[in-house]
Amino acid sequence: MDVKQHTPRRRGRPPRQRENLTETRELLLRAGLEVLTEKGFSATGIEEILGRVGVPKGSFYHYFGSKEAFGLDLIERYGLFFARKLDRHFGNPSLAPLERLRSFVADAMDGMARYEFRRGCLIGNLGQEMGALPESFRDRLKETFEDWQARLAACLREAQQAGEIAPDADTEQLAVVFWIGWEGAVLRAKLERSAKPLEVFAGFFFASLAAG
């Protein structure tokens, strides 16, 4: 009787083909973030993103089901990346709560200056384009802003407990006001290619906290 030999399943590293697929998908997402923070979704063609990565034009749908699916993945990726940045600043125990927010503001201004104010916030950019974007983006963008607001509100509550903010201040509303104003300041900074709009808004926001 012939005995069929069973080839054991490989353990450890995944097949090279799977590694290549994952790596290329990551490269496409990174390139998408770079382009979309500068130009926006509607003005960006898939060909431009593929060209940055060196992937053939016909291969995009091998990694993403559609441009819409690609955009949703980008929103999720950017939202998580930015949330980690917020956590580093807002959760820094070596600084007083309001100094943590000042640290975030300074870091964000440095980041925009590093790219000569060409890049802004992907979530803010997409929000401005919403009239021309797939409806599926709307809830994802709102959820991202709400997540950032919750992280800032927690930092502001710590500031309140430390006596830096008035005890009757509405920290949830303050967080909403900050992100609405900050996103507008980022847009203006891109327009003017200057940190001045960011400085003006931040100065006004911190002054309003002191007044409260």
Number of structural domains the chain divides into: 1
The residue segments making up the domain with residue 188 are 68-211
pLDDT of residue 16 exceeding 70: no
Euclidean distance between CA atoms 101 and 79, whole angstroms: 18
Q: What local confidence, expressed as pLDDT, does residue 6 receive? A: 42
Q: Is residue 112 part of a domain?
A: yes
pTM to 2 decimal places:
0.83
Q: State the pLDDT confidence band at 37, using cuts at 50, 70 and 90.
A: confident
Q: State the pLDDT confidence band at 144, using cuts at 50, 70 and 90.
A: very high
Q: What local confidence, expressed as pLDDT, does residue 1 receive? A: 35
More confident residue, 119 or 11: 119
Mean pLDDT of 134-161: 96
Q: Is residue 3 part of a domain?
A: no
Q: What local confidence, expressed as pLDDT, does residue 20 receive? A: 60
Q: Is residue 153 part of a domain?
A: yes
More confident residue, 97 or 50: 97
Mean pLDDT of 182-191: 95
Q: Supply the DSSP string of 80-137, one letter for each residue.
A: HHHHHHHHHHHT-TTS-HHHHHHHHHHHHHHHHHHTTT----HHHHHHHTGGGS-THH
Q: Is residue 173 part of a domain?
A: yes
Q: Is residue 152 part of a domain?
A: yes
CATH number at 206 reads 1.10.357.10
Q: Is residue 8 part of a domain?
A: no
Q: What local confidence, expressed as pLDDT, does residue 14 receive? A: 40
Q: State the pLDDT confidence band at 21, using cuts at 50, 70 and 90.
A: low
Classify residue 5 by its DSSP letter: P
Q: What local confidence, expressed as pLDDT, does residue 211 receive? A: 58
Pair of tokens at residue 160: 């309140």
Mean pLDDT of 113-141: 91
Q: Is residue 59 part of a domain?
A: no
Asked if 35 contacts 53 with a C-beta cutoff of 8 angstroms, the reply is no
Q: Is residue 50 part of a domain?
A: no
